[in-house]
Amino acid sequence: MENNVAQAERADTTDETAAVPRSGLLIGVLVVSAFVMILNETILSVALRDLTVDLGVSTTTVQWLTSGFLLTMAVVIPTTGFLLERFTPRQVFLASLTMFSLGTLISGLAPGFGVLLVGRVVQACGTAVMIPLLMTSIMRLVPPQRRGATMGTITIVIAVAPAIGPTIGGAVLASLGWRWMFWIVLPLAIAALAIGAVWLRLDGKTRPVPLDAVSVVLSALGFGGVLYGLSAFGESSGGHGLPPWAPLAVGVVTLVVFVWRQLRLQRRDRALLDLRPFTHHQFVVSLVLTALLLMCLLGVASILLPLYLQTVLRTGTFVSGLAVLPGGLVLGLLGRPVGALYDRFGARPLVIPGATALAVSLWLFALLGPGSPLAAVIGIHILMAIGLGLMMTPLMTGALASLPDQLYSHGSAILATLQQVAGAFGTAVLVSAAALGSADPTGSPDAGGLQLAFIVAGCVGVGAVIASLFVRGKAAETAEAAVESA
């Protein structure tokens, strides 16, 4: 009897040991694929000025290469909860990488703006699915005691790829041409697709969930309208056929109808985006904090800080890209260590100091002026990155860990959708504040306008500190997870 028990224990240990490397390989394939995709999202940002000349289009028109990408993401991401239930992870992965590779090829060969925009939209369709797929796979492959450290890899994807994208783009643009931004990415995407086709054997349970076409249309109009309106508010150049509030209002009203329809459909488990994650306290608190975090990450780090460096300190594009690189690298490097600390101590001891560091850094940005040294800007940005790094992994992991297994895919879709909307909202609010506080009659941001925008961001940071106090400790998290699994 004892020998049988010992043999069983050894067998279990062997199986677990064998499963861990396989899980690591599968997650590694997903992480590399997502990194290549998110890198592509920002690598083109420094080439917009060159594209206006090369393609013979206006600045407002060329902005659609980024706005169209984000709009497509906002439309597709809410459907990923349905896709991850209806199809296996392997099928979703292969479809995602195939579409991304095809979009990259179309973009590289594009003879004009129209074809290039089509290529970007196809790229976005593939990119939109990858982050929810990565989050859901980690929650299902990795045991609870190791999820934080593994989820920290997503921080590398979300933080480092956008940070180095403009730097790589600037280097490529200086020595080659904008098409090479796609030719460099294409072999990486094809290699990831080939490796995934061979090694990614992650087949999960699927359900023949019917697709509600009305929900798809409502989702597209709702999230697309909101994001388009917010993006229009955030663009200082104007030139839109409609006032920004019009699509925003239509989007908000449509989203109300969308939510009402999902609440009805989820009673029969037919919702396109199941909203039951919102009934979980930890998920809602983490969602609110993540929204505030992303407003600062995308609004401040990606918009206000480069504007300050270029318009106030008069640095060049390449120097501006290098100045924000250390903070992005610090944020990425903190991912796994902070995740390991989360596994041991829970979210609360990390999130509260992180929110405090974030708020302090934002108010320090508000003290900057035309005579501030570049080193001070880099130092404050690194402090901000430390604050964001202490928050990002615990919040994402804690949000999904509070959900039952069947809601992982929908929770991931909600988090990924929030990333797009919160980023657009943060950009719109902060750019509008910069224009409002500017002494320039045209509303172009100047030192005074950017200072006002940083003050508004500081208020967002204070809100994050207050919200962080509602994050539960590890004991409460464990108890809630036990209740959900029972």
Mean pLDDT across 305-312: 82
Minimum mean pLDDT range among 25-39, 308-322, 340-354, 436-450: 436-450
- For residue 340, tell me if it sits in a domain: yes
Q: pLDDT confidence of 30, banded at 50, 70, 90?
A: confident
Do 89 and 226 share a domain, yes or no?
no
CA distance 166 to 303: 12
Do 319 and 234 share a domain, yes or no?
no
Do 423 and 438 share a domain, yes or no?
yes
Q: What integer pLDDT is reported at residue 427 of this predicted model?
A: 77
- For residue 6, tell me if it sits in a domain: no
- For residue 40, tell me if it sits in a domain: yes
Do 35 and 117 share a domain, yes or no?
yes
Do 85 and 229 share a domain, yes or no?
no
- For residue 398, tell me if it sits in a domain: yes
Do 112 and 219 share a domain, yes or no?
no
Q: How far are the Cα atoms of 88, 353, 393 from residue 293, in angstroms, in the given order? A: 32, 13, 11
Do 425 and 460 share a domain, yes or no?
yes
Q: Which of 145-154, 219-228, 293-302, 369-378 shows the highest mean pLDDT?
A: 369-378
Do 101 and 19 share a domain, yes or no?
yes
Q: What angle do CA 434, 45, 299 make, to 5 degrees?
A: 35
CATH number at residue 105: 1.20.1250.20
The total number of structural domains in the chain stands at 3
- For residue 468, tell me if it sits in a domain: yes
pTM for this entry: 0.76
Mean pLDDT across 420-426: 78
144-150: long-range pairs with CB below 8 Å, 24+: 144/401, 144/481, 145/343, 146/343, 147/339, 147/343, 147/397, 147/401, 148/338, 148/339, 148/340, 148/341, 148/342, 148/343, 148/393, 148/394, 148/397, 149/336, 149/339, 149/340, 149/342, 149/343, 150/27, 150/339
- For residue 52, tell me if it sits in a domain: yes
Residue 484: is its pLDDT beyond 70? no
Do 300 and 424 share a domain, yes or no?
yes
Do 262 and 337 share a domain, yes or no?
no
Choose the final residue of a domain: 230, 245, 271.
271
Do 339 and 258 share a domain, yes or no?
no
Choose the final residue of a domain: 209, 232, 256.
209
- For residue 162, tell me if it sits in a domain: yes
Residue 126 vs residue 441, higher pLDDT: 126
Choose the final residue of a domain: 184, 209, 234.
209
Do 341 and 479 share a domain, yes or no?
yes
- For residue 8, tell me if it sits in a domain: no
What secondary structure does DSSP assign to 104-153, as a single string?
Answer: HHHHHH-SSHHHHHHHHHHHHHHHHHHHHHHHHHHHHHS-GGGHHHHHHH
Range of the domain at 222: 212-271
Q: What integer pLDDT is reported at residue 431 of this predicted model?
A: 79
